[in-house]
Structure 1
Amino acid sequence: MTRLHAQLSRFEDAFPGFRTEIVEGSVVACPLRPHHAGTVFAAWKALGPQLGPEWDVVSDVAFPLDEDNEFCPDLAVIPAREANRNAIAYPPDLIELVVEVASQGSIRRDYEVKPGRYASRGIANYLILDPMNGHAVTMWNPGPDGYRGRDTIPYGPDLTIDSPLGKLKIPTAGLPVDPKARPRP
């Protein structure tokens, strides 16, 4: 974990306005846009009050998964006692729910690479909020080869995640949708 994080920390200040993480052995810098931040904020605001005092939401902190992958999820639900340590990196085994917000540059990572890595670590729920397509993808039932359950739900109704922490709801009707990336009729 120390070697990976040492690599990543060299890049954190070099790319202002970008989030950096290590995916499949490569340092990846993703530009942050208003719809991305708005989606993260809305999901955090929805999830926080539903968690008991023993759980907390963290954002953009490192979770080294293996020698080639150190992910910085948009949101992760971990034990509050760990979040209170205010660390820059945490073991991925602490995560109960991961939320990623898809962007033009993160499609392959969010939809193909990360689900397998998160599932292999036993993370119970993985959620992708996608402002480009106006939908959410929820994955559950992790196994060594990926998640065995997957649903795609258009934005509009509240999204319910049946997690080990209980049923968590995220309103999707007001989530941002990128008008340039989503075809309009």
Structure 2
Amino acid sequence: MTRLHTQLSRFEDAFPGFRTEIVEGSVVACPLRAHHAGTIYEAWNALAPQLGPEWDLVSDVVFPFDEDNELCPDLAVIPEPEADRNELAYPPDLIELVVEVVSQGSIRRDYEAKPRCYASRGIADYLVLDPLKGQCVTMWNPGPDGYRGRDTIPYGPDLTVDSPLGKLTIPTANLPVDPKARPRP
């Protein structure tokens, strides 16, 4: 874990306004836009009051998965005592639920590469909030090659996930949608 974090930490100040990760062995820097941050904010505010006191949300902290993947989820639910430690990096086995928000540069990573990493560690639920398409994708039933279950839901109705943490709901009607996104059905 230390070696990977040391590699990534060299880039922390090199790309202001970008989120930097190591995905599939490559250093990736993604620009952050207002809809990305707004979606994280809305999801955080929806999930936080639903979690028991033993759980907390963290955002954009490092989770080294293996030699080729050091991910910084947009939101991850981890045990509250671990979040209170305020670390730069955490073991990925702490994650109970993960949420990624799609940006123009992260489409393939969020839909293909990251699900394999998250599922390989047994993270029960992976949520993709996609302001580019105005939809959410829920993935569950993790296996060694990815998630076996997947639903795509257009923004509008509440998204409810029956997770090991209980039923969690994220209202989607007011999530930001990129103006260039496909029109909602």
- Residues 134 and 181 of structure 2 are in contact (CA less than 8 Å); yes or no, is this contact kept in structure 1? no
Structure 2 alignment gaps of length 5 or more: none
Alignment of 1:1-185 (within 5 A): 1-183=1-183
**For the Cα contact (< 8 Å) 2:125–2:140, is it kept in 1?**
yes
2:184 and 2:138 map into 1 onto residues whose CA distance is 24
Q: 1:169 to 1:184 in 2, by over 3 A?
A: closer
SS across alignment from 2:138: strand
In the TM superposition, residue 184 of structure 1 has moved relative to its aligned partner by: 7.5
Identity %, equivalent residues: 84
- Coordinate RMSD, CA, aligned: 1.1
Structure 2 CA distance for aligned equivalents of residues 134 and 9 of structure 1: 33
Runs of 4+ in 1 over 6 A off after TM superposition: none
Structure 1 residue 131, shift from structure 2 partner: 0.2
Q: Secondary structure at the match of 1:112?
A: helix
Tell me, in whole angstroms, the C-alpha distance in 2 between the residues paired with 1:41 and 1:70.
Answer: 23
Q: Give the 3 Å change call, closer, same or farther, for CA 76–184 of structure 1 in structure 2.
A: closer
- Match of 2:127, SS state, is strand
Q: Could you report, residue by residue, the CA deviation over 1:47-91 in whole angstroms, capped at 9, with x for unpaired residues? A: 000001000000000000000100000000000000000000000
Kindly state the Cα deviation for residue 145 of structure 1 after the two structures are TM-superposed: 1.4
SS at match of 2:169: strand
Counterpart amino acid of residue 121 in structure 1:
R
What do residues 4-62 of structure 1 show as CA deviations (whole Å, max 9, x unaligned)? 10010010111110000000111100000000000000000000000010000000000
- Any gaps of 5 or more consecutive residues in structure 1? none
Q: Distance in 2 between matches of 1:51 and 1:174?
A: 21
State the shift of 1:182 in Å: 2.9
Query: Which digits, 9 at most, give the CA deviation of each residue in 1:100-128, with x for residues without a partner?
Result: 00011000000010101110111111000
Tell me if structure 1 keeps the 8 A contact 2:65–2:71: yes
TM-score scaled by structure 1? 0.98
Alpha-carbon spacing, 1:147–1:184, altered in 2? closer, same or farther (3 Å): closer
Task: Using the TM superposition, give the Cα deviation of residue 183 of structure 1 relative to its aligned residue in structure 2, in angstroms.
Answer: 5.0
TM-score normalized by the length of structure 2: 0.98
